Amino acid sequence: MKSTFFAGAVAALTSFTTVVSAQSYNQTGPFYLQIKSDNATLDGRYLTACHSGAAQETLCLGKVDSPTTNKASASFFWNTTDQSPVGVLIWNLVLAKNPDGTQMVVSSPMTLDYTPGTNVATTRFGPNEIDRSVQVGFNNSVMYMTWWNDDSTFLAGQYPTGDSSREITNWNVCWVLAGSYYYNALAWVTGGAPHNPTCEAVSVVKVEPSA
Ligand SMILES: *[C@@H]1O[C@H](CO)[C@@H](O)[C@H](O)[C@H]1NC(C)=O
Ligand SMILES: *[C@@H]1O[C@H](CO)[C@@H](O)[C@H](O)[C@H]1NC(C)=O
Ligand SMILES: *[C@@H]1O[C@H](CO)[C@@H](O)[C@H](O)[C@H]1NC(C)=O
Ligand SMILES: *[C@@H]1O[C@H](CO)[C@@H](O)[C@H](O)[C@H]1NC(C)=O
């Protein structure tokens, strides 16, 4: 329901403007995110931001195979600083035009939502989430996250030393609940075999728009 959506969005924005983060970023994009998979049904599909609550979106398997038919929902950005090889994945939520004709755009960072009963976390873009956002990087365009301390190397009573960080790419396409919506969407498996039997491991690749 449109009016409910915008009322919620405005409420979320009001709190957003009061807690603006001081961190500044360099931004690259827009770019698209494409699935790579051995499964021909999934391979080549683009990810799109789809509605999962007031001013909230998750990364759905595109209803369209080409982002050219819906560029805004398939266009993402990457906010980085010189201090780190990883940065924040961003989707711009475009709100209705203000009465003066200007368009309100909310730079929405990606977070992961975890629930206690499963190792499958869902993606979520929302305003006011920068402190909870996850950091992603691109290695030869392949999207990864960093595991700073690999706890499989831990020893009892010995504080971990050395750099055990590594790139991890636990992306899966699964049927998930995002808010109250049931979507075939990108998800993150924290470790081991996915608890959700609909999950299929995939790679996510950054694609520059051709025009
Ligand atoms: C991302 O970076 C751009 C450009 O610096 C900035 O305008 C935007 O507010 C940033 N987004 C977030 C969520 O910090
Ligand atoms: C390929 O993916 C589709 C959609 O997730 C799924 O229904 C199908 O079972 C998969 N095929 C194989 C061979 O895994
Ligand atoms: C953004 O990029 C410029 C040019 O490379 C650099 O001088 C600046 O420090 C960067 N900003 C941040 C926040 O890392
Ligand atoms: C980047 O990806 C390549 C190819 O998959 C891999 O060999 C390399 O180790 C990766 N880089 C890092 C820093 O993990």
The ligand minimizing its distance to the Cα of 84 is 3
Nearest atom (ligand 4) to Cα of 139: 1
How many whole angstroms from 197 Cα to the centroid of ligand 2?
12
- Confidence (pLDDT) at 13: 52
Beta strands in the chain (DSSP E): 26-36, 47-53, 56-61, 76-80, 87-97, 103-113, 120-125, 135-139, 142-147, 166-168, 171-178, 181-189, 200-201, 203-207
83 within ligand 4 shell (Cβ under 6 A): no
pLDDT for 186 equals 98
Ligand nearest to the CA of 202: 2
At 9 the pLDDT is 52
Give the model's pLDDT for residue 71.
86
User: What local confidence, expressed as pLDDT, does residue 211 receive?
Assistant: 55
| CA–CA separation, 108 and 114 (whole Å) | 19
Using the 8-state DSSP alphabet, how is residue 98 labeled? P
Q: How many residues does the chain have?
A: 211
Total domains in the chain come to: 1
Residue with CA nearest ligand 2 atom 4: 41
Integer-rounded Cα radius of gyration of the chain:
18
Question: With 0-12 CB in 10 A as exposed, 13-18 as middle and 19+ as buried, what is 141?
Answer: middle
- 137 C-alpha to ligand 4 centroid (Å): 11
Write down the pLDDT at residue 65: 67
Ordered mean pLDDT values, 10 residues apiece, the chain (211 residues): 47 50 87 95 94 94 73 95 96 86 91 96 94 96 91 90 85 96 97 97 94 55
Range of the domain at 91: 2-207
pTM, to two decimals: 0.88
Q: Report pLDDT for 1.
A: 39
